[in-house]
Amino acid sequence: MRIKLLITGGTIDKVYDELIGQLVFQRTYLIDMLNRSRSMVDTLSEVLFLKDSLDMSDIDRALIVKKCQESDTSHILITHGTDSMIRTAKLLAKEINNKTIVLFGSMIPYSINCSDALFNLGVALSAVQIKEYGVYITMNGQVFDFDKVEKNKEIGIFTLL
């Protein structure tokens, strides 16, 4: 089974820029993460953009939808910032019903000690291979239907709605 991996940015890909003392995007680390994880899943990745999900526009979201619609494979993983992940998931569910789409991200960048990124990638990659057609969010070790999840911003946890 081939998996399409669409990369859009979010916390997972942020790294520290020591000249400005801030976390920024430089490139994606998803391929490094898959290699380190010794994944043998047939994965074809594509970087759409590298953005905070709060900075995503309607045009950005339309591009994600279009890329999913055009995808040859029916199993799609999307990295996404957590703040508007549910909004994008709802849009995808409205437009697409013949694919398994799993959105995930991380609360702590892969570049930082004690990141949840590798674990989250594992949960998402497993779910996208197993679940029926539909749109899902995998965070905090759980697999949520797109319309039965909310992010509790007080504690940074996704919970069942």
Binding residues for substrate: 53, 82-83
Phi, psi angle pair for 26, to nearest 5°: -120, -50
> Is the CB of 62 or the CB of 157 nearer to a second copy?
157
Lookup: tokens for 84: 């508007």
Place of tokens 């509790």: 152
What's the min distance (Å) between Cβ of 62 and a second copy?
25
> Is the CB of 59 or the CB of 155 nearer to a second copy?
155
What's the min distance (Å) between Cβ of 76 and a second copy?
16
Phi, psi angle pair for 56, to nearest 5°: -75, 135
> Which residues contact a second copy (rule: CB under 8 A)?
11, 16, 18-19, 21-23, 33-34, 36-41, 107-109, 111-114, 116, 118-127, 129-131, 138, 140-143, 153-159
Residue in 47, 111, 56, 45 with CA at minimum distance from that of residue 82: 56
What is the rounded distance in angstroms from the CA atom of residue 124 to the CA atom of residue 136?
9
> Annotated catalytic sites, by residue?
11
What's the min distance (Å) between Cβ of 87 and a second copy?
18
> Is the CB of 57 or the CB of 153 nearer to a second copy?
153
Phi, psi angle pair for 82, to nearest 5°: -75, -20
